Amino acid sequence: MQHAETSSGGLLDKFYSFKVGPVPLPLYICFAIIIFAASYYGKLPKDMIGGFAVMLVMGILLGDMGLRIPILKDIGGPAILSIFIPSVLVYYSLLDGPAKEAIIHFTAGKNGGANFLYFYIACLVTGSILGMLRQVLIQGFLRMFIPLILGTVASCLVGTAVGTMLGHGLFETFFYIVVPIISGGVGEGILPLSAGYAEIQGTDPGRFIAMVAPAAMLGNVTAIICAGILKRYALKNPHQTGNGKLVRVGDDNLNLTKEEEPIDVTILGMGLLTACCFYLFGMLVNLVIPIPAPIIMILSAAIAKATGIMPKIAEKAAYQFYLFVSKNLTWALLVGVGVCYTPWKDVVAVIQPSYIITVVSTVLAMVGTGFFSAKFLNMYPVEAALVTGCHSGLGGTGDVAILSAAGRMELMPFAQISTRIGGAAVVVMAVILMRMFYAG
What pLDDT is stored for residue 162 in this prediction?
95
- pLDDT tens-digit profile of 266-308? 999 999 999 999 999 989 998 998 777 777 887 888 889 888 8
Q: Which of 57, 72, 107 is the last residue of a domain?
A: 107
Same-domain pairing of 75 and 169: no
Q: Out of 74, 107, 140, pick the residue that ends a domain.
A: 107
**Triad 220, 225, 229: Cα angle to 5°:** 145
**Which residues, 6+ apart, have CB-to-CB distance to 221 below 8 Å?**
80, 84, 347
pLDDT for the residue numbered 258: 45
Q: Residues 314, 433: one domain?
A: yes
For residues 354 and 270, membership in a common domain is answered with yes
- To the nearest 10 degrees (0 to 180), the angle between helices 116-130 and 293-307 is 20
In a domain, 74, yes or no: yes
Task: Identify whether residues 392 and 286 lie together within a single domain.
Answer: yes
Q: Is residue 120 part of a domain?
A: no
Q: Are residues 316 and 266 part of one domain?
A: yes
Q: Number of structural domains, the chain? A: 2
> What pLDDT shows up at residue 260?
55
Report if residue 112 sits inside a domain: no
The answer on 243 and 195 residing in a single domain is yes
My answer on whether 77 and 144 are in the same domain is no
12 within some domain: no
Residues 92 and 148 both lie in one domain:
no
Question: Is the domain of 223 the same as that of 285?
Answer: yes
Q: Are residues 71 and 181 in the same domain?
A: no
Return per-residue pLDDT of the chain as tens, 440 residues: 445 555 555 666 676 778 888 899 999 999 999 999 999 999 999 888 999 999 999 999 998 998 888 877 766 778 788 888 998 999 999 998 899 999 998 887 666 567 788 888 888 888 888 887 777 677 777 788 888 899 999 999 999 999 999 988 899 899 989 998 888 776 567 767 777 887 788 776 666 766 777 888 888 889 999 999 999 999 999 998 988 888 876 544 433 444 457 788 899 999 999 999 999 998 999 899 877 777 788 788 888 988 889 999 999 999 999 889 888 888 898 898 888 877 888 777 767 899 999 999 999 999 999 999 988 888 899 999 999 999 888 777 788 889 988 888 888 888 877 887 788 788 888 888 888 887 66
State residue 323's pLDDT score: 87
Both 209 and 101 in a single domain? no
- Report if residue 115 sits inside a domain: no
- Spell out the SS3 assignment of the chain: CHHHHHHHHHHHHHHHHCEECCEEHHHHHHHHHHHHHHHHCCCCCCCHHHHHHHHHHHHHHHHHHHHHCCCHHHCCHHHHHHHHHHHHHHHCCCCCHHHHHHHHHHHHCCCCCCCHHHHHHHHHHHHHHHCCCHHHHHHHHHHCHHHHHHHHHHHHHHHHHHHHHCCCCHHHHHHHHHHHHCCCCHHHHHHHHHHHHHHHHCCCHHHHHHHHHHHHHHHHHHHHHHHHHHHHHHHHCHHHCCCCCCECCCCCCCCCCCCCCCCCHHHHHHHHHHHHHHHHHHHHHCCCCCCCHHHHHHHHHHHHHHHCCCCHHHHHHHHHHHHHHHHHCHHHHHHHHHHHHCCHHHHHHCCCHHHHHHHHHHHHHHHHHHHHHHHHCCECHHHHHHHHHHHHCCHHHHHHHHHHHHCCHHHHHHHHHHHHHHHHHHHHHHHHHHHHHCCC
pLDDT of residue 281: 94
Residue 14 lies in a domain: no
Structural domain includes residue 265: yes
In a domain, 230, yes or no: yes
Residue that finishes a domain, picked among 107, 140, 170: 107
CA dihedral in degrees (429, 434, 437, 438; nearest 10)? 180
Q: Are residues 94 and 160 in the same domain?
A: no
Residue 292 domain boundaries: 127-251+261-439
